[in-house]
Amino acid sequence: MVCRADGPLFFANVHRVFDWIRNELNLYTFKSAQGERYLLLDLGPVSTIDTTAMTMLDDFCEEMARANIVLLFSNANNRFLHMLRRVNLFTKFAPRMFPSTHDAVLKFETSVAEQKSHTVDIEMEGLGQSSKVKAELGTTDDSRAREQEEALISYKIS
């Protein structure tokens, strides 16, 4: 599932954002799915984030892990990355960060392909519209995985 927050995350709205995400997960029966599941938070429109929201994000990440949901992030801007460094969460979140939503979905496909090699339904939520996307999963391409890893490393450094 892909979710996007359309604005800054700060102490006054972060509870509502995470409550909305929890509600969306329940609506799409995400809890009944088997195995590891993925939730991608598109941070593109998030212009700023304060320390309270960052702490809540860390707690939310741990909550999702307990529910066997891997929380990934895409499109983080420099302010967000700076705040991660400031609150000493950069090394924890960096492996979950992707320069684009597309790169994060490729990571999802690669991870799922390692677990099973058949068609799965990926529920994606974005821009107020819901759609199901079928992804044909097969073997992973090692050179492509290396390219993604190099792109992520260069993204982390900048």
For 127, the domain range is: 2-157
Beta strands 120-126 and 129-135 are antiparallel
- Sign of the dihedral through C-alpha 130, 20, 31, 29: negative
Beta strands 69-74 and 37-42 are parallel
Q: CA nearest 89: which of 140, 53, 44?
A: 53
Residue 49 Cα to chain centre, angstroms: 16
CA dist 119 and 137 (Å) reads 6
pTM above threshold 0.75: no
Phi and psi of 110, rounded to 5°? -65, -45
Residue whose pair of structure tokens reads 């598109």 in the numeric block: 42
Q: How many domains does the chain have?
A: 1
pLDDT at 122: 39
pLDDT at 59: 96
The answer, yes or no, to whether residue 120 has pLDDT greater than 70, is: no
The answer, yes or no, to whether residue 101 has pLDDT greater than 70, is: yes
CATH number of residue 92's parent domain: 3.30.750.24
What rounded mean pLDDT belongs to the chain? 75
Residue 40 Cα to chain centre, angstroms: 3
- Cα distances (angstroms) measured from residue 57 to each of 17, 73, 78: 10, 11, 17
Radius of gyration of the chain, Cα coordinates, nearest whole angstrom = 15
Residue-wise pLDDT tens digits, 19-75: 999 988 886 666 556 677 889 999 999 999 999 999 999 999 999 999 888 899 999
Percent of the chain having pLDDT more than 90? 46
